[in-house]
């Protein structure tokens, strides 16, 4: 049997490689844009344009990396190279998600360092921004910042796992469809399944917000904790569904 401590590093290696490649691409794009702007606009205002470039390209990189890592997850379900690994489907699923989450965290750190570096180089600007609401910012930051990061991460997992759920349901259904006209039926089904799944997930959150309203909770510690819990419960439900589909229906492609 392969254990997770062996599998996660293996998965991480390839994901790191992909993320690094995209980071290099992003840095090249930032430098290229900055140089072009330096020639067209001259040195005046270079701080603002550099900050803008970094935000723009890191935003693009964020999306591309997000999608790339999602494709790593989806690849695993339907591939002999991964599905033959002697490990339970639950552990395979968790290993894949752990690796993707860690790879994304790695990008987050790199991105934060990059922003910090730019802020340091163009420090006049950043100070102006912070100055406006400094008192409130500094008082709530120790709690708010980690909270936002955690929520952000849970949101990320939620979207990934929802993609997986739609994909796995589709693969499961496809095995029961007649051979002809697969493409048309699949296209229609993809839309239908996607709408249904997204509706269900949204519905769960609506249910939750109604519950918050009726119970008269305010935006305080308890309600934040409940929101936190509700996301986690949805994640667990989706994961359970995903693993169940893997175990029962989802085969590798020939």
Residues 236, 250: Cα–Cα separation, whole Å: 19
CB 8 within 8 A of CB 101: no
CB neighbourhood size of 24 (10 A): 10
Among 184, 213, 219, 254, binds another protein (CB under 8 A): 254
- With CB under 8 A as the contact rule, which of the stretches 52-60, 84-92, 116-124, 210-218 interacts with another protein? 84-92
**Under rule CB under 8 A, how many of the chain's residues touch another protein?**
31
Q: C-beta of 110: minimal distance to another protein in Å? A: 24
- With CB under 8 A as the contact rule, which of the stretches 52-60, 154-162, 210-218, 244-252 interacts with another protein? 244-252
Q: Sign (positive/negative) of CA torsion 68, 74, 80, 84?
A: positive
- With CB under 8 A as the contact rule, which of the stretches 112-120, 134-142, 233-241, 245-253 interacts with another protein? 245-253
Q: Among residues 76 and 157, whose Cβ is nearest to another protein?
A: 76
Token pair in block for residue 92 = 């395979």
- With CB under 8 A as the contact rule, which of the stretches 83-91, 108-116, 146-154, 221-229 interacts with another protein? 83-91
- Any contact of residue 248 with another protein (CB under 8 A)? yes
Among 42, 86, 142, 221, binds another protein (CB under 8 A): 86
- Any contact of residue 80 with another protein (CB under 8 A)? yes
Find the DSSP H helices in 122-181: 123-132, 134-174
Residues 94, 4: Cα–Cα separation, whole Å: 9
Q: Among residues 1 and 219, whose Cβ is nearest to another protein?
A: 1
Give the footprint of another protein on residues 88-117 (CB under 8 A).
88-89
For residues 96, 102, 107, 108, the Cα torsion angle rounded to the nearest 10 degrees is 130
Residues 249, 106: Cα–Cα separation, whole Å: 33
Residue 190's nearest CA partner among 175, 176, 169 is 169
CB 240 within 8 A of CB 221: no
Q: Among residues 132 and 254, whose Cβ is nearest to another protein?
A: 254
Q: C-beta of 27: minimal distance to another protein in Å? A: 23
- With CB under 8 A as the contact rule, which of the stretches 58-66, 72-80, 107-115, 218-226 interacts with another protein? 72-80
Q: Tokens 């997770």 identify what position?
A: 4
Among 41, 48, 55, 79, binds another protein (CB under 8 A): 79
- Helix, strand, or coil (residue 180): coil
What residues line the site for another protein (CB under 8 A)? Answer: 1-2, 6-7, 9-10, 75, 79-89, 175-179, 247-254
């Amino acid at each position: 049997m392969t254990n997770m401590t062996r599998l996660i590093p293996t998965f991480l290696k390839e994901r790191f490689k992909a993320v690094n490649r995209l980071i290099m691409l992003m840095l090249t794009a930032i430098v290229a844009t900055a140089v072009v702007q330096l020639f067209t606009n001259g040195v005046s205002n270079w701080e603002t344009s550099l900050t803008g470039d970094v935000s723009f390209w890191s935003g693009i990189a964020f999306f591309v990396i997000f999608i790339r890592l999602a494709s790593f997850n989806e690849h695993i379900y339907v591939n002999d190279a991964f599905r033959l690994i002697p490990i339970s489907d639950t552990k395979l699923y968790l290993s894949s998600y752990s690796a993707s989450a860690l790879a994304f965290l790695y990008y987050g750190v790199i991105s934060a360092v990059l922003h910090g570096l730019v802020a340091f180089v163009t420090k006049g600007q950043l100070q102006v921004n912070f100055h406006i609401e400094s008192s409130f910012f500094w008082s709530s930051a120790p709690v708010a910042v980690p909270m936002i990061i955690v929520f952000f991460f849970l949101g990320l997992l939620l979207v990934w796992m929802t993609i997986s759920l739609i994909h796995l349901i589709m693969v499961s259904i496809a095995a029961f469809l007649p051979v002809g006209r697969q493409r048309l039926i699949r296209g229609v089904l993809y839309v239908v399944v996607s709408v249904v799944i997204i509706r269900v997930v949204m519905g769960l959150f609506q249910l939750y917000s109604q519950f918050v309203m009726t119970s008269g909770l305010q935006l305080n510690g308890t309600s934040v904790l409940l929101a936190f819990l509700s996301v986690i419960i949805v994640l667990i439900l989706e994961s359970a569904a995903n693993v169940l589909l893997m175990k029962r229906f989802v085969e590798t492609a020939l």
